[in-house]
Amino acid sequence: MKYSALLLWSFVPTLIAALPHNHHFHKREAHAAPEVVTVLVTQVVTMAGPGSSDPTTLQTSFVSSATEPAALPSSVVSSKGASAKSSAKSATKASAKSSGSPYSSSIHSSASSSSAVASSTATSEVSSYAEKSKGIAYSPYTDSGSCKSSDVIQSDIQLLSAFDYIRVYAPDCSCVENIMAVMGDNQKLFAGLYYMDSLTTDIETLSSAVESSSQGWDGVYAVSVGNEWVNSGDYSVSQVSAAVSSARSALSDKGYSGYVVSVDTLVAVQDNTDLCDVSDFIAVNSHPFWDGNVLPEDSGTFLKTQIANIYKACGSSKDVLICETGWPTQGDTYGVAVPSKENQLTAIKAIVEEVGDQVLMFTTYNDYWKDGGSYGVEKYWGIFE
């Protein structure tokens, strides 16, 4: 019988050029930061079993971790070292399994079962905490990107009865009429007009859908014009301002007198404070994960600080609403931010405890119709299963 002994691991942080990443079709290209590649070097010696006098084989393997967005302080590197040590031990255990260890099968089965239970518990808890926020984003698309049926959309919305606002990005897939058909008396739609080049026709579509509902425009909390247009570089502040003004006028002609806003990233609004004057309230998206330096348990205090910062930057008495926030459950680590269901639970719990009445959660389900994105997280922000 042979066994493997872990002798050495080390980390070699290397600063490399920053890479931009896209945060799905309804998201921004986040501000770039320097990246670190952490290289895990593991040396494994395969030795004969007890009673044998000589080692038989020397093997050395090298494994590279995912890239990170910023050079980390020594305390963080130490923490990441512990994580890598755990990963190395897992790899050794996997090697033992493949070599026919009599214990490996039962260990693997037990670990898988425990992981599944923990994952299910985290999912259940995270939805309970998310319901303490002001609202949630919803996309009416199947895993393949086609439209969900009316029955499925309505069933989905009935699951979201605890949220005051349901945010959609465009009047696609007859989602507006289907959402309004089943949402409760306590709920309102946060409607969206996503495409600059189809604002006129999308306003017509939105108006027809709203007017066909029993609530009419009273069932609409706000209408957003675009999503992160300035941050993405697609349009200038003046173009966004003109689009919002035009949409506000067209919506007024249709009988709507509620809020009209432009939603952009918090960073984009801070850097372009003219956007503060465009909207009827300050509507921004802010994800602690994409900062790269925020642990999940600090997500609430992070957003509380960001809200205070945007108040200060805009210098106005307008209300601030975070229109997207959350935490991914799968993908690559970004700085100190690690995607997992457990971390999603921790982050959302922290967020609602600090600023629950000022945020909309992102998002209802995993969006498998999207590309994975630079860090492989874009599909995995879903709160419900």
Beta bridge partners of 359: 322
177 catalytically annotated: no
Encoded amino acid at 317, one letter: S
Q: Is 9 exposed, middle or buried (0-12, 13-18, 19+ CB in 10 A)?
A: middle
CB 279 within 8 A of CB 226: no
Three-state secondary structure readout of 322-372: EEEECCCCCCCCECCECCCHHHHHHHHHHHHHHHHHHEEECCCCCCCCCCC
Token pair 């920053």: residue: 18
Q: How deeply is 378 buried, as exposed, middle or buried, from its count of CB atoms within 10 A (0-12, 13-18, 19+)?
A: buried
Residues 6 or more apart from 148 whose CB is under 8 A from it? 140, 141, 142, 156, 173
DSSP conformation class of 220: E
366 φ/ψ angles, rounded to the nearest 5 degrees: -60, 140
Its sign, for the CA torsion 68, 73, 79, 81, is positive
End-to-end CA distance of the chain: 45
Pairing outcome for strands 35-48 and 2-11: antiparallel
Q: Which value, in Å, is the radius of gyration of the alpha carbons in the chain?
A: 24
DSSP labels for 97-147?
Answer: HHTT-TTHHHHHHHHHHHHHHHHHHHHHHHHHHHTTSSEEE---B-TTSSB
Q: Which of 177, 324, 354, 378 is catalytic?
A: 324
CA–CA gap between residue 284 and residue 263 (Å, rounded):
5
Cα separation, 379 vs 43, in Å, equals 35
Catalytic positions, please?
324
